[in-house]
Structure 1
């Protein structure tokens, strides 16, 4: 009798591991499956779960000041150790406080200590202090009771970073339960802070990601890192999410006689130039009426799209896709993580990927989504250090995007002239960068989409 515990932390994890084939495959491999959910339990009622799957909602852990300090110290030390990576160094600089609030002063102290002591040994010491600081916390003790009662053979974390789940990882370590984590996104290792803790084994997207993991976490045993691809894109090869082209045009009130350009937005924090980019696309469309083009804008699932109201008034002809993700609750330390996708949105997104002619975005993972459907992709980065726009060109220095740039799979438009030229290229020669796109997909996702969840289930079973 084998039992697995699966920790689903947020809405994106819900999409990747609940709305993919993962639960079907994992329920075949194990006798019992327990989902330890960072989302409200009621959200699973809309899904038909296999009979051997049980859902347990986790109470929300809130860090004390001392726990927060040690966690911050660990993260800053990790970033200091690896600050030769542009993305990490950029986040390190951005994190330094400008004000002398209580938290600001503590953060400055963490920066001071980490600036001196930031070896891997020191980082592990900070993590031990962090874990010791919450081991007697009421929520931690309840987590311990839950795991003692469930007794899973393996505990699988679907995301390696959320700090509010560190006590759950600690409890698994106390009970000597084998822990495994999936590395959540393509940019997490080379541009983000430290993971919530160390795991016994890891599942990664690609050979490239495995190499990065071992570099940033040198205590990792290479044999305990398995390349399986990612379930993030698996819904694109699942029959239940497919739809007809006519339904796509009808759903978004599009003109079936025109080609569709899709602009996919970043979240408000880094997508400050979205409106500028969108207006430039509309200028191209209006300047070239004979091309029969129309624009569909998909906003970020992390927001409600209200910031685009002035743009809607200026360009009423733009069609909009506001992702159907519902906010499960507000009382959470990371409220954005509680936005949960609907099945309808997965169908909508897949149809956009399949039936749009090309995609424009600001250095987003969405570029990979469109490339999986062999669609041309343009990155718009109009902002720099000298103009009045948000400096989105700085992201081009991030390691994961350097691979994209070097691959030549994506056109990089740094101003309106370049964007309009690349739009013409994509419309007139959509296959021009096809081989480059295929090579980039192979680099970033080393396994086929079909069978991803089956590979994951088999690998996890071997570790149980």
Structure 2
């Protein structure tokens, strides 16, 4: 029997970005918390549709705004970020520095960049980074813009505060820091598998961390050895739950009716990257379209291009508008203001991956999802044909990033190092899809263990309830 309202713990969920909605509000997390706790949402999203959809599950939805911070705090954090990358100095960190150098040159700020790099090199060691992180926390508290959040938490008196995305949601950092300073147990979800090596230093002093899998658990403790391993919990990520729940899987015919392809013929799923990270990708898609025409197969495969919701080039959109035979660019059903996938998109995306004959992407999380469904995967390590990219933007860098290199070396994906290798990989994937199956399964099982069961949202909810109950 659910506890009475008076006895229920009170949990504040910080929703600092749209994708948190997919992970924790669409999933089982909110439903379970709603039945067993008093829930308040502190959310950057506060339009009428959002309020109507989630108000029945929570006590309050409070708008969350991003406060401007003092310039000197911002500058100190930028230097600390650069120092952190210099200390890590893997392939991702090196590229990050190169990107900053390139931007500084474009903006005519090479002198300022040289000063930042000099200071970052001096600070690129564990003791200094830990000291600067504490300084950031001290300054964020003592130079907070006002006491609105302090008063809010004193009024709400939550037992637990949960930041649903530790990165890409800057509005969520200040309330998490303030709740920690007020002595309220604070939990952070490490949003994605690459974030610990690609997204800089964690400045919020969370009491507890939730991570996808053992590898992230170990990497977190390696980078932040002061964190107690007993306070890091492996829950899986709810974003994959939909792949393992039958109610989110459309039949091939249902999917075809929405996308327009022939359900009786195979299709290849090509997923694009963010345009700024994968420049000239339209050239690769055009090359692939022509290559598919040349394949000597009894059934010509169709091509479904799923564009990236958070940034697609005009050139790529133009290909979609051409209405080429056997090429489909389905509409990506996301709210583009808040970058929230619409609920219907969960089924469409899961079904696209499930029913594909094989998948192609540069170096993406989609590779993992394809491998979960035991689908052949092609990754792209060459620059788009006909492009002339500076070294800092070359596509091969993504393959060699710290988080992705183990995928590329797993044997579960096939990397095309040059355009001429695509044809053989296509033929292998389409005619002998079972060939790398054991390697795909081995890699996925080794990385994710038993978390791919459709119950990550449940695990998150039960972990939060446990922590909230023990904090009372």
Asked if these proteins are the same fold (TM beyond 0.5), I'd say: yes
2:97 to 92, 100, 108: 92
Give secondary structure in 2 for the equivalent of 1:166. Answer: helix
Q: Determine the C-alpha separation between the residues in 1 that align with 2:51 and 2:186.
A: 27
Instruction: Tell whether the 8 Å contact from 2:23 to 2:457 is kept in structure 1 after alignment.
Output: no
When residues 314 and 51 of structure 1 are mapped into structure 2, their CA distance, relative to the original with a 3 A threshold, is closer
Q: Deviations over 1:98-133 (max 9, x none)?
A: 249798765543322221123333223323333444
Q: Determine the C-alpha separation between the residues in 1 that align with 2:312 and 2:281.
A: 14
Q: Determine the C-alpha separation between the residues in 1 that align with 2:74 and 2:288.
A: 44
Q: Would you say 1:116 and 2:122 are equivalent positions?
A: yes
Instruction: Tell whether the 8 Å contact from 2:189 to 2:211 is kept in structure 1 after alignment.
Output: yes
Give secondary structure in 2 for the equivalent of 1:219. Answer: coil
Q: Determine the C-alpha separation between the residues in 2 that align with 1:215 and 1:313.
A: 48
2:309 to 301, 311, 315: 301
Instruction: Tell whether the 8 Å contact from 1:264 to 1:299 is kept in structure 2 after alignment.
Output: yes
Q: Determine the C-alpha separation between the residues in 2 that align with 1:44 and 1:459.
A: 25
Corresponding residue for 2:402? 399
Q: Deviations over 1:123-176 (max 9, x none)?
A: 233233334444356755211121111111111111122444332122112210
Q: Would you say 1:61 and 2:64 are equivalent positions?
A: no
Q: Deviations over 1:359-416 (max 9, x none)?
A: 10010101112222221111122229x9734511112221211210221111101222
Between stretches 192-201 and 314-323, larger displacement belongs to 314-323
Corresponding residue for 2:447? 444
Q: 1:220 Cα shift?
A: 1.0
Corresponding residue for 1:78? 84
Q: 1:240 Cα shift?
A: 4.1
| Unpaired stretches in structure 2, ≥5 consecutive residues | 1-6
Q: 1:25 Cα shift?
A: 2.0
Q: Determine the C-alpha separation between the residues in 2 that align with 1:217 and 1:45.
A: 37
Where in structure 2 are the equivalents of 1:299-378 lying within 5 Å? 299-303=307-311, 306-312=314-320, 316-317=324-325, 318-328=327-337, 338-378=338-378
Corresponding residue for 1:415? 418
When residues 104 and 457 of structure 1 are mapped into structure 2, their CA distance, relative to the original with a 3 A threshold, is farther
1:148 to 151, 154, 168: 154
When residues 102 and 198 of structure 1 are mapped into structure 2, their CA distance, relative to the original with a 3 A threshold, is farther
Q: Determine the C-alpha separation between the residues in 2 that align with 1:4 and 1:449.
A: 25
When residues 312 and 228 of structure 1 are mapped into structure 2, their CA distance, relative to the original with a 3 A threshold, is closer
Where in structure 2 are the equivalents of 1:210-289 lying within 5 Å? 210-288=217-295
Instruction: Tell whether the 8 Å contact from 1:134 to 1:167 is kept in structure 2 after alignment.
Output: yes
Q: Determine the C-alpha separation between the residues in 1 that align with 2:207 and 2:152.
A: 20
Q: Would you say 1:166 and 2:173 are equivalent positions?
A: yes
Q: 1:463 Cα shift?
A: 2.0
Q: Determine the C-alpha separation between the residues in 1 that align with 2:462 and 2:57.
A: 20
Q: Determine the C-alpha separation between the residues in 1 that align with 2:48 and 2:245.
A: 25
Q: Determine the C-alpha separation between the residues in 2 that align with 1:126 and 1:248.
A: 51
Instruction: Tell whether the 8 Å contact from 1:24 to 1:50 is kept in structure 2 after alignment.
Output: no
Q: Determine the C-alpha separation between the residues in 2 that align with 1:463 and 1:210.
A: 18
Instruction: Tell whether the 8 Å contact from 1:69 to 1:107 is kept in structure 2 after alignment.
Output: no
Q: Would you say 1:290 and 2:298 are equivalent positions?
A: yes
Instruction: Tell whether the 8 Å contact from 1:231 to 1:449 is kept in structure 2 after alignment.
Output: no
When residues 164 and 123 of structure 1 are mapped into structure 2, their CA distance, relative to the original with a 3 A threshold, is farther
Corresponding residue for 2:3? none
When residues 286 and 203 of structure 1 are mapped into structure 2, their CA distance, relative to the original with a 3 A threshold, is same
| Unpaired stretches in structure 1, ≥5 consecutive residues | 329-337
Instruction: Tell whether the 8 Å contact from 1:281 to 1:420 is kept in structure 2 after alignment.
Output: no
Q: 1:6 Cα shift?
A: 1.1
Give secondary structure in 1 for the equivalent of 2:53. Answer: coil
Instruction: Tell whether the 8 Å contact from 1:382 to 1:414 is kept in structure 2 after alignment.
Output: yes
Instruction: Tell whether the 8 Å contact from 1:358 to 1:376 is kept in structure 2 after alignment.
Output: yes
When residues 186 and 100 of structure 1 are mapped into structure 2, their CA distance, relative to the original with a 3 A threshold, is closer
Between stretches 16-25 and 106-115, larger displacement belongs to 106-115
Q: Determine the C-alpha separation between the residues in 1 that align with 2:179 and 2:273.
A: 36
TM-score w.r.t. length of structure 2: 0.89
Q: 1:453 Cα shift?
A: 1.7
When residues 171 and 309 of structure 1 are mapped into structure 2, their CA distance, relative to the original with a 3 A threshold, is closer
Q: 1:11 Cα shift?
A: 1.6
When residues 192 and 51 of structure 1 are mapped into structure 2, their CA distance, relative to the original with a 3 A threshold, is closer
When residues 344 and 450 of structure 1 are mapped into structure 2, their CA distance, relative to the original with a 3 A threshold, is closer
Q: Determine the C-alpha separation between the residues in 1 that align with 2:56 and 2:109.
A: 46
How many residues were matched structurally? 453
